[in-house]
Amino acid sequence: MTTKTPQDHKTSQAAQDAEKQERFEDIDGHELLKPFSKVKGSDQLRLLAQLRGLGIVDDADDTSEDVNIDDLDFEKVADLIDYVSARFAIDPEKFDEFTTGDGGYDRAMQLAVAYAGELGKGQS
């Protein structure tokens, strides 16, 4: 009989990928957006519609795992960023300040897409 040590148990690729994904709370600027518990159902649905338009969700409760941010339609992402700023920013001016200047579009895109993706998890 062979005894296995903890090192012999490899985690699945899906578990490894999940560990690599950044939690929303770890993303710079997350504190600028409303807590999910304060977001109205109608705004959740509108946000999910935007995610569906970007291909980030396949249907109302299935977040796509195959989305590469570089493959997204940047015009639609810009609309998503504006929508997140207008509807979900605690202080839209601070959100705009955070997303202005060098690398602003990258911070805005990461924050808006992560927020929308997190909010879309488990919605039905």
Task: Please report the pLDDT score of residue 49 as a whole number.
Answer: 87
Q: How far apart are CA 77 and CA 70, in angstroms?
A: 11
Task: Please report the pLDDT score of residue 90 as a whole number.
Answer: 96
Task: Please report the pLDDT score of residue 15 as a whole number.
Answer: 47
How many other C-beta atoms can be found within 10 angstroms of the C-beta atom of residue 83? Answer: 16
Task: Please report the pLDDT score of residue 25 as a whole number.
Answer: 87
Task: Please report the pLDDT score of residue 67 as a whole number.
Answer: 61
Residue 101 is encoded by which pair of tokens?
Answer: 């200047």
- Global pTM reads 0.68
Task: Please report the pLDDT score of residue 87 as a whole number.
Answer: 93
Identify the CA nearest to 51 among candidates 124, 114, 95, 122. 114
Q: Give 99's contacts (C-beta < 8 A, 6+ positions apart).
A: 29, 81, 85, 105, 107, 108, 111
Task: Please report the pLDDT score of residue 122 as a whole number.
Answer: 54
Q: What's the average pLDDT block by block, 10 residues per block, for the chain (124 residues)?
A: 52 48 83 91 88 74 60 86 92 95 91 80 54
